[in-house]
Amino acid sequence: MAIETETDSSSGRDPERPKGYVVGSAPADAERELSHDEFDPVGTLTVILVYFLILVGMWVFMYFVEFLGNELTVVG
């Protein structure tokens, strides 16, 4: 009854792996195994640096728009 039945990401290399329409079957088409020592998370570092830059940008924006641009919001 499901409205879609074709195989998408499970290539069926592993006979133990479910075939057909499944959620969570990503690893079937893995191209290589990376162990702990081979894996260097530079991408993670990049993503975190980008986030950090956005944070700094937002703080600066807050400072100009909210503090320099407005009267005092809370008094006493």
Partner 1 sequence: MATYVDRYPDEAGVVKATFAVAFAALGVGALFGLVQALHRTGYLRVIDSTDYYTVLTGHGVLLALVFTIFFLLGLFTWAITRSLERPLPNIKLTWAWFGLTTTGAVFAAVAIVAGLFPSLDMSADVLYTFYAPLQAHPLFYVGLAMFIIGTWIAGVDWFLAYREWRADNPDERIPLQAFMVLTTTLMWYLSTLGVAVSVVVFLIPWSLGFIDTVNPLLTRTLFWYFGHPVVYFWLMPAYMMWYTVLPKLAGGRLFSDPLARVVFVLFLLLSTPVGIHHQYLDPGIAEGFKFIAMTNTMFLLLPSLLTAFTVVASMEHGARQRGGEGYLSWLGALPWRDPAFTGMALAGIMFAAGGFSGMINAGMNINYLVHNTLWVPGHFHLTVGTAVALTMMAGSYWLVPQLTGRRLYSRPIALFQVVLWFVGMVFMSNAMHRAGLLGIPRRTAEPQYQSFDFSATVGSVSELRIQMAVGATLLFVSVVLFLFNVLLSAIEDPIEMPVDDSLPAPLSGADGSPVVLDNLRLWTAIAVVLVVLAYSLPLASIVTDGGLFGESGAFPVFVDAVYRVAGVVA
Please tell me whether residue 4 adopts helix, strand or coil conformation.
Answer: coil
Shortest CB 35 distance to partner 1, Å:
7
- How many CB atoms neighbour CB 17 within 10 A? 13
Would you count residue 76 as binding partner 1 (CB under 8 A)?
A: no
Binding mask 21-60 for partner 1 (x = CB under 8 A): xxxxxxxxxxxxxxxx--x-xxxx-xxx--x--xx--x--
- How many whole angstroms separate alpha carbon 8 and alpha carbon 22? 8
Residues that bind partner 1 (CB under 8 A): 1-4, 8-10, 16-36, 39, 41-44, 46-48, 51, 54-55, 58, 62, 65-66, 69-70, 73-74
